[in-house]
């Protein structure tokens, strides 16, 4: 069936709930209303209000309750209405869930999923990319699919994983990308990057909605004789170090692109990995193209200036190709 | 006989105090703590009368054997903490030591009210509850000594450990209040598997000020989860007295804001604590939702061993010294002729011996190998199984979401008004 990114998420949730009675959902307005983005539409009708739980507006209590339920053997999937609000339950995630297995051997099989990202004029509190707060915290897994197929397959793996997984869904993609997905299809393993476009001359390492910008820009640059490879990280923690090093060794030139802000973004970490593991293979300095170090601004011209652009990416790739 | 507060759906938000609030206390502690300036320095001043406490309030729920078992746990709690202090003074403890002196009765009697199928999560002063739940004193000692043999293998200290297995205990974290929604979630997970259980945790007068406390109690109320929350009002949050922490006269009153029942007890009266907690546990088992219990007592030492608590007015300590929970309970046992002077001496000697052996075992454990620090961040395949246990016939789950029929709980004593 041809599914949009958000429909693929709903399909994966429904199939996992049918497969495993331990899987249940909790979040704000996810029941009868079906979620702010309709990712859970209709699920309460099939699974009932005890497995699709409408909660009070209380992110710490929601995540705390999910942790407790996970300790009893359940597999809770929490919806954050917008991932920006994950700041409200930071402590539950980073201090309770993330450290639980390390400290006392108690796994927390929990998924926290919800929309991230800009490009939809959501303003400072409905557009953020909070991945690096969590990628920096040992014990958490952080996943961000770029395609409907990966949204489906990676969510299945996230639900089956015995660790707390942050599943970041780019809201710009919810209804803009589609894939043909077979019913009860396979889960996609976490921790593996994928080559979204093979190329010979240089590599763009990216994830989320930026994968599409990179693939489109690479297609445009092909006419100029620049053959760009695009590596979709898919999982930010744990990082696919081997996949990152492999593309660098293949093309010898790397640009890292992300929608997250610049300072402390994953580009810095990837740059360090490449310095450590592929220095001799590099023919050019590692470049980064990221959002600016500001809050996400609201007005469309301001947001356009904040986000990485196709023109900016073209210019950076042309510069990289010249080395 | 007056029934314990019993909420029906129709009673939610009812105006009558009696329907949601019960006070088991036999005395009301009348004193005030004020901030003053003394010889140019800001200090706390106590005003009140140093009186003797009344006898304990008869339980009716506990028999002789149970009372003597509780008494043994009380002695173990106190003597274990004396040993911890000794270990600290001998330089064998890594970091500080936290004490529950004066709060042992509350820790032990509340945990004693749980059934084996229930869950518990201790706070730092509830070391007695660990013993009730079946952990050995050596576990606590090795945690403080950061030994390889400790339940966390030296990865964490103090009472920061747990067991998802038979002892059903959740490890606390240092951030106060965060255990409360987790314990609610325990009830939610168990309910989805077909069981109504009680999940008990504690919070202090300080911890009750956190936002997550309010989120979690409201969440448990709306979801009708069997949370048993014991608010240990020990009058001090580190150096901050109660009147700078909360405006309400009694912290139990906050339950009203969530539409859940509350019980207020004298935390130095073991029998009151047990009765209130057992009532709450039974309410949880019956699908009756959460209960908030305020236990009034006093932290008789500093926040931790480094804190001499010089800010506490001496008369306040003297007031509560006369309300030592173990001495009060001893008096009760003697008055019942359940504990002779000879038996008491024998038991104390036996616990002392046991604790020395536990201490020796803790000391014998090596420090952990540094390399063990590097593994176990993630739960890898094959490392821990996550296995729910669904009951064949689940109770009426559909009814549980805020509309369960609430089961009546046996009450056993008049209110004190």
Residue tagged 């219990």 (tokens): B293
How confident is the model at residue B417, as a pLDDT? 20
How confident is the model at residue B403, as a pLDDT? 38
Q: Are B268 and B331 in contact (CB under 8 A)?
A: no
Closest of B329, B279, B309 to residue B106, by C-alpha: B329
Residue A269, pLDDT above cutoff 70: yes
How confident is the model at residue B38, as a pLDDT? 87
Q: At what angle do helices A59-71 and B179-192 cross, to 10 degrees?
A: 50
Residues facing A261 on adjacent strands: A291
- How is residue B47 written in tokens? 């005003």
Residue B275, pLDDT above cutoff 60: yes
Top-confidence residue, A160 or B382: A160
What is the number of H-type helices and E-type strands within chain B? 10, 10
Query: Which DSSP state fits A223?
Result: T
Chain Cα centroid distance, residue A294: 21
How confident is the model at residue A203, as a pLDDT? 98
Q: Are A230 and A258 in contact (CB under 8 A)?
A: no
The CATH code of domain A2-180 reads 3.40.50.970
Q: Using the beta-carbon criterion (under 8 Å), do B378 and A103 form an inter-chain contact? A: no
SS3 (DSSP) at A256: strand
Per-residue pLDDT of A29-74, as tens digits, reads 999 999 999 999 999 999 999 999 999 999 999 999 999 999 999 9
Residue B73: which H helix or E strand, with range?
helix B64-89
Q: Using the beta-carbon criterion (under 8 Å), do B377 and A102 form an inter-chain contact? A: yes
> Can you tell me the distance from the alpha carbon of A178 to that of A173, in angstroms, rounded to the nearest whole number?
9
* CATH superfamily membership of B18-367: Thiamin diphosphate (ThDP)-binding fold, Pyr/PP domains (3.40.50.970)
**Chain B CB contacts of A65 below 8 Å:** 181-182, 184-185, 188, 216, 219, 223
How confident is the model at residue B7, as a pLDDT? 42
How confident is the model at residue B18, as a pLDDT? 54
Residue B9, pLDDT above cutoff 80: no
Q: Are A233 and A207 in contact (CB under 8 A)?
A: yes
Q: Using the beta-carbon criterion (under 8 Å), do B386 and A109 form an inter-chain contact? A: yes
Per-residue pLDDT band at B12 (split at 50, 70, 90): very low
How confident is the model at residue B52, as a pLDDT? 96
Q: Are B109 and B332 in contact (CB under 8 A)?
A: no
Question: What ipTM was assigned to the predicted interfaces of this complex?
Answer: 0.96
Per-residue pLDDT band at A245 (split at 50, 70, 90): very high
- Class of A194-322 per CATH? alpha beta
A194-198 average pLDDT score: 98
User: Backbone phi, then psi, for A231, in 5-degree steps?
Assistant: -105, 120
- How is residue B320 written in tokens? 């509560």
Per-residue pLDDT of B49-99, as tens digits, reads 999 999 999 998 999 999 999 999 999 999 999 999 999 999 999 999 999
How confident is the model at residue B140, as a pLDDT? 98
Per-residue pLDDT of A289-318, as tens digits, reads 999 999 999 999 999 999 999 999 999 999
In chain B, which among 182-201 make CB contacts under 8 A with chain A?
182-193, 199
Percentage of chain A beyond pLDDT 90 is 100
Q: Are A308 and A172 in contact (CB under 8 A)?
A: no
Q: Are B78 and B104 in contact (CB under 8 A)?
A: yes
A126 part of the active site: yes
> Can you tell me the distance from the alpha carbon of A153 to that of A148, in angstroms, rounded to the nearest whole number?
9
Per-residue pLDDT band at B394 (split at 50, 70, 90): low
How confident is the model at residue A173, as a pLDDT? 98
> Can you tell me the distance from the alpha carbon of B371 to that of B152, in angstroms, rounded to the nearest whole number?
15
Q: What average pLDDT does the structure give for chain A?
A: 98
Q: Are B23 and B295 in contact (CB under 8 A)?
A: no
**Chain A CB contacts of B397 below 8 Å:** 48, 50
> Can you tell me the distance from the alpha carbon of A301 to that of A55, in angstroms, rounded to the nearest whole number?
37
How confident is the model at residue B393, as a pLDDT? 63
Residue tagged 């804001």 (tokens): B257
Closest of A311, A117, A111, A122 to residue A221, by C-alpha: A311
> Can you tell me the distance from the alpha carbon of B212 to that of B160, in angstroms, rounded to the nearest whole number?
19
How confident is the model at residue B5, as a pLDDT? 46
How confident is the model at residue A63, as a pLDDT? 98
Q: Are A143 and A166 in contact (CB under 8 A)?
A: yes
Q: Using the beta-carbon criterion (under 8 Å), do A67 and B185 form an inter-chain contact? A: yes
Q: Are B124 and B95 in contact (CB under 8 A)?
A: no
Closest to A101 (Cβ–Cβ): which among B191, B211, B376?
A: B376
How confident is the model at residue A289, as a pLDDT? 98
A181-187 average pLDDT score: 97
Nearest CA-CA distance, residue B281 and chain A, Å = 18
Q: Are A75 and B386 in contact (CB under 8 A)?
A: yes
Closest of A254, A305, A309, A314 to residue A279, by C-alpha: A254
Per-residue pLDDT of A75-134, as tens digits, reads 999 999 999 999 999 999 999 999 999 999 999 999 999 999 999 999 999 999 999 999
Q: Which residues contact residue A307 at a Cβ distance below 8 angstroms, ignoring those fewer than 6 apart?
A: A118, A119, A259, A291
Residue A165, pLDDT above cutoff 50: yes
In chain A, which among 13-52 make CB contacts under 8 A with chain B?
21-22, 24, 48-51
Q: What share of chain A is helix, strand, coil (3-state, %, to 5)?
A: 40, 20, 40
Measured at the CA of A25, the angle between CA A24 and CA A28, to 5 degrees, comes to 160
| Burial tier of B270 (Cβ tally within 10 Å: 0-12, 13-18, 19+) | buried
Residue of A126, A170, A212, A258 with catalytic role: A126
- How is residue B222 written in tokens? 């709306």
Tell me whether the omega of the peptide bond preceding residue A238 falls within 30 degrees of 0, making it cis. Answer: yes
Nearest CA in chain A to B186: A68
Per-residue pLDDT of B169-203, as tens digits, reads 999 999 999 999 999 999 999 999 999 999 999 99
Q: Are B406 and B4 in contact (CB under 8 A)?
A: no
Residue A253, pLDDT above cutoff 60: yes
């Amino acid at each position: 069936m041809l599914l949009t990114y958000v429909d693929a998420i709903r399909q994966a949730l429904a199939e996992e709930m049918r497969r495993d009675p331990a899987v249940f959902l909790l979040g704000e307005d996810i029941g009868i209303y079906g979620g702010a983005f309709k990712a859970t539409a209709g699920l309460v009708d099939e699974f009932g209000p005890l497995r699709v739980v409408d909660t009070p507006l209380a992110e710490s209590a929601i995540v705390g309750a999910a942790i407790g339920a996970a300790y009893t053997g359940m597999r809770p999937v929490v919806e954050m209405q917008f991932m920006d609000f994950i700041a409200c339950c930071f402590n539950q995630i980073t201090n309770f869930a993330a450290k639980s297995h390390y400290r006392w051997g108690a796994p927390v099989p929990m998924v926290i999923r919800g929309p991230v990202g800009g490009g939809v004029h959501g303003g400072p509190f409905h557009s953020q990319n909070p991945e690096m707060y969590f990628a920096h915290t040992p014990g958490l897994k952080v996943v961000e699919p770029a395609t409907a197929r990966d949204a489906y397959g990676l969510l299945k793996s996230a639900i089956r994983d015995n660790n707390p997984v942050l599943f970041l869904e780019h809201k710009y993609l919810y209804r803009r990308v589609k894939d043909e997905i077979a019913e009860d299809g396979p889960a996609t393993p976490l921790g593996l990057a994928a080559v979204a476009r093979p190329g010979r001359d240089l590599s763009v390492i990216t994830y989320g909605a930026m994968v599409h910008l990179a693939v489109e820009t690479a297609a445009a640059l092909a006419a100029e004789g620049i053959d760009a490879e695009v590596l979709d990280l898919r999982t930010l923690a744990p990082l696919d170090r081997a996949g990152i090093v492999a593309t660098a060794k293949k093309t010898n030139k790397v640009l890292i692109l992300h929608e997250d802000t610049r300072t402390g973004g994953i580009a810095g970490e990837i740059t360090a990995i490449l310095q450590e593991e592929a220095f001799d293979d590099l023919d050019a300095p590692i470049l980064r193209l990221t959002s600016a170090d500001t809050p996400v601004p609201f007005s469309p011209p301001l947001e356009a200036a904040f986000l990485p652009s196709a023109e900016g990416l073209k210019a950076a790739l042309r510069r990289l190709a010249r080395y | 006989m007056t029934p314990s507060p019993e909420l029906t759906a129709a009673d939610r938000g009812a105006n009558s105090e009696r329907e949601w609030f019960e006070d088991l206390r036999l005395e009301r502690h009348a004193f005030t703590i004020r901030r003053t300036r003394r010889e140019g320095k800001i200090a706390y001043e106590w005003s009140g009368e140093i009186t003797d406490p009344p006898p304990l309030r008869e339980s009716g729920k506990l028999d002789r054997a149970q009372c003597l078992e509780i008494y043994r746990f009380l002695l173990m709690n106190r003597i274990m903490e004396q040993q911890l202090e000794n270990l600290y003074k001998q330089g064998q403890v890594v970091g500080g030591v936290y004490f529950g002196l004066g709060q042992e009765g509350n820790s032990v009697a509340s945990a004693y009210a749980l059934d084996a199928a229930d869950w518990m999560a201790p706070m730092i002063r509830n070391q007695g509850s660990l013993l009730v739940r079946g952990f050995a004193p050596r576990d606590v000692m090795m945690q403080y000594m950061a030994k390889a043999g400790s339940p966390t293998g030296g990865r964490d200290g103090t009472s920061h450990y747990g067991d998802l297995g038979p002892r059903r205990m959740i490890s606390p974290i240092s951030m106060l209040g965060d255990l409360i929604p987790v314990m609610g979630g325990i009830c939610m997970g168990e309910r989805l598997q077909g069981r109504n259980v009680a999940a008990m945790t504690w919070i202090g007068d300080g911890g009750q000020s956190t936002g997550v406390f309010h989120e979690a109690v409201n969440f448990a109320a709306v979801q009708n989860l069997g949370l048993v929350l014991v608010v240990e009002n020990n009058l001090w949050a580190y150096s901050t007295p109660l009147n700078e922490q909360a405006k309400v006269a009694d912290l139990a009153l906050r339950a009203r804001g969530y539409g859940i029942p509350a019980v207020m007890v004298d935390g130095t009266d073991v029998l009151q604590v047990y009765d209130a907690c057992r009532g709450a546990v039974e309410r949880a088992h019956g699908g009756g939702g959460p209960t908030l219990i305020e236990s009034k007592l006093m932290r008789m030492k500093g926040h931790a061993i480094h804190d001499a608590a010089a800010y506490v007015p001496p008369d306040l300590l003297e007031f509560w010294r006369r309300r030592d929970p173990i001495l009060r309970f001893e008096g009760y046992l003697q008055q019942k002729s359940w504990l002779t002077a000879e038996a008491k001496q024998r038991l104390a000697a036996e616990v002392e011996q046991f604790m020395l052996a536990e201490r020796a075992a803790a000391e014998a454990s090596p420090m952990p190998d540094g390399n063990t620090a590097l593994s176990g961040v993630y739960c890898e395949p094959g490392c821990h199984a996550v296995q729910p246990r669904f009951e064949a016939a689940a109770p009426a789950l559909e009814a549980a979401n805020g509309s369960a029929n609430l089961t009546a709980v046996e009450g056993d004593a008049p209110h004190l008004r």
